[in-house]
A and B are shown apart, each in its own frame.
Chain A
Amino acid sequence: MTALAARNLCKAYGGVQAVDDVSFSVAAGEVLAMIGPNGAGKTTCFNMVNGQLLPDKGTLEFEGRSIAGRAPREIWRMGVGRTFQITATFASMTVRENVQMALLSHYRRLASLFSVAARQHREEAEGLLERVGMRDQAERACAVLAYGDLKRVELAIALANAPRLLLMDEPTAGMAPGERSELMQLTADLARDSNIAVLFTEHDMDVVFTHADRIVVLAQGRLIAQGDPAHVRADARVREVYLGSMHA
């Protein structure tokens, strides 16, 4: 079943066509990587999907409903979770409280004035932290965490929404090689077990070729190739504009 479908997306800034007629789709349970050189339009594409940018043209549908131009918070409500390229967490809260906030929002209990937030959905939050390997740091403030650990907290926050689509912008940037593979393996397992569609951008080709089911390649705002890893790796154009000789 198609979870996310983008058709003929276009976006220009000040005369530069950042994204030009790009179409792709992600099925439930599928892990799709979006790759390409800097400035190829990956981030622009990504920000249209997550609601930060409005496409000039084209359609974006999540489970058959249009999401183009919806605010990020509405997209979350539809069952989408996301992580940021530069991590964004609540620095004055503990790791667990960060996940609890996402859970409180998911269960629509944020407006409560008199219950004690730190006691709500505690076990569930710890369960999510367990899954991303952060349970032992649940009591620490997010402000003091290492960068790689923040990336994992972000994944737990996204999972708190029981998402059917997970958007991850450079999920492993700044992590050590071992950690990278671990995090993406975890993500891929989650996708298969819980039937979550995953769309991620990434610069680490080892991660992409190991964990993605399918890859789309952008260059200068256009989609130049898509298919399974073996197919993309063999594509002459992709090797010319992006992979170079190192990944032949």
Chain B
Amino acid sequence: MLSVRGLNAAYGRAHILFDIALRASKGEVVVLLGRNGAGKSTTLKSIIGLLRPLSGEILMRERSVSRLKPYQIARLGLGYVPEERRIFTDLTVMENLEVGRQARREDAPYWTPTRLFELFPNLGRMQDRLGGRMSGGEQQMLTIARTLMGNPAAILLDEPSEGLAPVIVEQMALTIRALKQEGLTVLVSEQNLRFAHAVADRAYIIEKGHIRYSGTMSDLESNGAVREQYLSV
């Protein structure tokens, strides 16, 4: 569904990513693990086109998207949920969803506000509330719902558990599993290993802009040395 090869990226003159290679198959939940500043967010931003890569190939369903603009990539069925949530604070919940709305796609689940409110019952109860007047957990739900309105076949989730209360984190994990059930491909970046275990099928570990490890979650479970070296909190 989604594959990345030889991705290099920089902010100004600071080289951040070095030859990143990743892939995610249809219906798979893949986690990109790493610390603050390891390059997780930069990887996701490069994939969605917010940061123009120095080099490398990004393929969405075998089609190269590395030269496209973010809106074109989004319309090809790739959704992006940013770390800082970036809710439109002046817009209501319904208006936020409206901004995300795109045409129906044959190869991806079709979302309407009604269906989304089944997945996120809290949002259904505050349809006219301004984005700026929601709690962190509610905003996190809204930012995912807003992206789903684009009917994506795959989504990028940047640190969805960051700064959330434990109960909300649990809810978030359930949501991601539900999206997998719908057939969505999910690439999620995380620092929280427990959360990663709860949602992911496979993991990559990124450190200082290099992919250091890749394997299934159960392999990672049994590999204490890798966890210790790259992830010890």
Whether the complex brings A and B within 8 Å at their CB atoms is answered yes
**Interface set of A (CB-CB < 8 Å, partner B):** 38-39, 143-147, 173-177, 203-206, 246
Chain B interface residue number, banded: 10 to 19
Flag whether B125 is at the interface (Cβ < 8 A).
Answer: no
Contact with A along B165-208 (1 / 0, CB 8 A): 10000000000000000000000000000000000000000011
- If A176-B208, A203-B233, A246-B233 touch, whether A143 touches B13 (CB-CB below 8 Å) is yes
Interfacial residues of chain B within 76-135, with CB under 8 A of chain A in the complex: none
Contact of B233 among A38, A146, A205 (CB under 8 A): A205
Q: Which residues of the other chain, A, contact B13 by a CB distance below 8 angstroms?
A: 143-144
Docked-complex contact A174 and B37, CB < 8 angstroms:
yes
Q: Which residues of the other chain, B, contact A176 by a CB distance below 8 angstroms?
A: 207-208
Q: Which residues of the other chain, B, contact A204 by a CB distance below 8 angstroms?
A: 232-233
Closest-CB distance, A101 to chain B (whole angstroms):
21
Q: Which residues of the other chain, A, contact B52 by a CB distance below 8 angstroms?
A: none
**Interface set of B (CB-CB < 8 Å, partner A):** 12-14, 35-38, 162-163, 165, 207-208, 229, 232-233
CA distance A39 to B37 in the complex (A): 20
CA distance A205 to B233 in the complex (A): 7
Closest-CB distance, B132 to chain A (whole angstroms):
11
A-B contact pairs, 19 of them (CB 8 A): A38-B162, A38-B163, A39-B163, A39-B165, A143-B13, A143-B14, A144-B12, A144-B14, A173-B35, A173-B36, A174-B35, A174-B36, A174-B37, A175-B37, A176-B208, A177-B229, A177-B232, A204-B232, A246-B233
Q: Which residues of the other chain, B, contact A246 by a CB distance below 8 angstroms?
A: 233
CA distance A134 to B162 in the complex (A): 32
Contact of A143 among B12, B35, B37, B163 (CB under 8 A): B12
Q: Beyond A146-B14, A205-B233, A246-B233: 17 further Cβ-contacts under 8 Å? A: A39-B163, A39-B165, A143-B12, A144-B12, A144-B13, A145-B14, A147-B37, A173-B36, A174-B35, A174-B36, A174-B37, A176-B207, A177-B232, A203-B233, A204-B232, A204-B233, A206-B232
CA distance A246 to B232 in the complex (A): 10
Q: Which residues of the other chain, B, contact A205 by a CB distance below 8 angstroms?
A: 233
Q: Which residues of the other chain, B, contact A145 by a CB distance below 8 angstroms?
A: 14
CA distance A176 to B231 in the complex (A): 10
Max chain A CB contacts within 10 Å: which of B12, B13, B36, B229? Answer: B36
Q: Which residues of the other chain, A, contact B207 by a CB distance below 8 angstroms?
A: 176
CA distance A176 to B36 in the complex (A): 10
Please give me the residue from chain B that is nearest to A38 by CB atom. Answer: B163
Closest-CB distance, B3 to chain A (whole angstroms):
28
Max chain A CB contacts within 10 Å: which of B35, B162, B207, B232? Answer: B35
Closest-CB distance, A224 to chain B (whole angstroms):
16
Max chain A CB contacts within 10 Å: which of B13, B37, B162, B163? Answer: B37
Closest-CB distance, A206 to chain B (whole angstroms):
7
Please give me the residue from chain B that is nearest to A241 by CB atom. Answer: B166
Q: Which residues of the other chain, B, contact A38 by a CB distance below 8 angstroms?
A: 162-163
Closest-CB distance, B134 to chain A (whole angstroms):
13
Q: Which residues of the other chain, B, contact A39 by a CB distance below 8 angstroms?
A: 163, 165
Q: Which residues of the other chain, B, contact A175 by a CB distance below 8 angstroms?
A: 37
Docked-complex contact A173 and B37, CB < 8 angstroms:
yes
CA distance A177 to B37 in the complex (A): 13
CA distance A38 to B136 in the complex (A): 12
CA distance A55 to B150 in the complex (A): 44
CA distance A176 to B39 in the complex (A): 13
CA distance A144 to B12 in the complex (A): 8
CA distance A131 to B35 in the complex (A): 26
CA distance A246 to B228 in the complex (A): 12
CA distance A147 to B207 in the complex (A): 13
CA distance A246 to B192 in the complex (A): 13
Q: Which residues of the other chain, A, contact B38 by a CB distance below 8 angstroms?
A: 174
CA distance A206 to B229 in the complex (A): 12
CA distance A206 to B36 in the complex (A): 16
Q: Which residues of the other chain, B, contact A147 by a CB distance below 8 angstroms?
A: 37
Closest-CB distance, A114 to chain B (whole angstroms):
32
Closest-CB distance, A94 to chain B (whole angstroms):
14
Closest-CB distance, A145 to chain B (whole angstroms):
8
